């Protein structure tokens, strides 16, 4: 059975897009303001409170994102409406229609390798497409890739600020409660560092749409043959620190 069910849909245009939705909103009297050109995507609401309290972010007028002021202008911070590739796709599509051209996904991930620890920063260099959303944008392949220049810029900027960064592949999967020991062993042998739910979809949508995307993770839980060890609370301060450093990197130099 092919997936998607209509295997050549990648060659066809969408029946409707965010622009149609925004046109409808405007017809009802709602405003659709322009979004910042660069947006940090996150998936945990506690980052919103941290951004307001520690980074002095403010709520955008008539829009869901927070605004962070930097020397190069405003950055957006958006918490997606849910987790996983489908929620991310809706958020990214709508932000692109409002003007965003650069996305940095900042989230948590489980680690597959024994030499990673909770709080480690991982910069994703490719993502295994084990979610369903990306296959509605491009035909099947094993990996999706981030934007090279943006990924390199993040690595240089973070390391220059003293952040130790691991780079490598991630396994993006929709079914969080259906990860298996066989999959774990396979991807560990391939050197895959982490497992999460969004990166491959973000990279695919960005590439198809001609925008930039990169993904950063803080290790928050551990997976091995004996089971699963959640350490989300311990990872929280590391994620806060990574957000702060990422804002500094994106706001300190001209995008390439």
34-57 pLDDT, tens per residue? 999 999 999 999 999 999 999 999
For 157, the domain range is: 34-250
- According to the model, what pLDDT value does residue 256 have? 38
Residue 16 inside a domain? The answer is: no
Task: Give domain status of residue 163, yes or no.
Answer: yes
Alpha-carbon distance 231 to 252, whole Å?
32
pLDDT at 8: 86
CA dist list (Å): 210 to 35, 69, 148, 180: 17, 25, 13, 35
Cα–Cα separations (whole angstroms), residue 138 to 50, 91, 125, 133, 149: 36, 19, 19, 10, 22
Over residues 148-201, the pLDDT tens digits come to 999 999 999 999 999 999 999 999 999 999 999 999 999 999 999 999 999 999
Number of domains within the chain: 1
Backbone angles phi, psi at 128, to 5 degrees: -70, 130
Nearest to 97 by CA among 24, 164, 32, 158: 32
Token pair for 148: 């090279």
Among residues 15, 213, 10, which one has the least CA distance to residue 96? 213
The pLDDT tens digits of the residues spanning 223-240 come to 999 889 999 999 999 999
For residue 134, how many C-alpha atoms fall within 13 Å in the half-sphere facing its CB? 29
Q: Are strands 143-144 and 121-130 parallel, antiparallel or unpaired?
A: antiparallel
pLDDT tens column, 123-145: 999 999 999 999 999 999 999 99
pLDDT at 253 over 60: no
Q: What is the pLDDT of residue 10?
A: 86
Does a structural domain hold residue 89? yes
Q: What is the C-alpha to C-alpha distance for residues 71 and 83, in angstroms, rounded to an integer?
A: 31
DSSP state of 62: T
Lowest mean pLDDT among 2-16, 42-56, 99-113: 2-16
Cis geometry, peptide bond prior to residue 4 (ω within 30 degrees of 0): yes
pLDDT of 1 above 90: no
Residue 18 forms part of a structural domain: no
- Closest residue by Cα to residue 41 from 102, 105, 91, 127: 105
| Mean of pLDDT values over 216-224 | 97
Place of tokens 């590391």: 238
* Band (81; pLDDT cuts 50, 70, 90): confident
Determine contact, residues 85/131, Cβ cutoff 8 Å.
yes
DSSP 176: G
Q: Is the pLDDT of residue 244 over 50?
A: yes
The structure tokens listed for 15 are 């029946």
Q: For residue 25, is it within any domain? A: no
**Rounded distance between C-alpha atoms, residue 109 and residue 125, angstroms:** 14
| Residue 254: pLDDT over 80 | no
**CATH, residue 125:** 3.40.50.1580
Type and span of the H or E element at 21: helix 18-27
For residue 211, being part of any structural domain is answered with yes
Q: What is the mean pLDDT of residues 70-91?
A: 94
């Amino acid at each position: 059975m092919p997936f998607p069910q209509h295997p050549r849909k990648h060659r066809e245009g969408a029946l409707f897009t965010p622009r149609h939705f925004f046109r409808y909103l405007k017809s009802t009297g709602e405003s659709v303001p322009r979004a910042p050109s660069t947006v940090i995507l996150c998936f945990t609401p506690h980052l919103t409170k941290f951004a307001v309290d520690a980074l002095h972010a403010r709520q955008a007028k008539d829009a869901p994102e927070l605004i962070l002021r930097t020397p190069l202008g405003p950055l957006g911070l958006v918490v997606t409406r849910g987790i996983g590739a489908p929620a991310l796709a809706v958020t990214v599509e709508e932000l692109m229609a409002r003007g965003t051209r650069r996305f940095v996904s900042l989230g948590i991930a489980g680690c597959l390798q024994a030499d990673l620890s909770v709080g480690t920063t991982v910069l994703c260099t490719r993502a295994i497409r084990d979610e369903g959303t990306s296959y509605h944008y491009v035909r099947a392949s094993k990996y999706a890739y981030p934007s090279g220049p943006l990924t390199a810029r993040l690595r240089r900027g973070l390391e220059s600020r003293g952040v130790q960064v691991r780079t490598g592949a991630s396994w993006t999967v929709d079914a969080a409660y259906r990860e298996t020991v066989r999959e774990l062993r396979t991807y560990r042998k391939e050197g895959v560092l982490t497992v999460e739910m969004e990166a491959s979809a973000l990279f695919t949508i960005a590439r198809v749409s001609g925008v930039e995307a990169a993904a950063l993770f803080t290790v928050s839980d551990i997976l091995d043959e004996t089971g699963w060890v959640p350490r989300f609370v311990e990872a929280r301060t590391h994620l806060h620190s990574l957000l702060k450093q990422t804002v500094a990197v994106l706001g300190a130099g001209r995008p390439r």
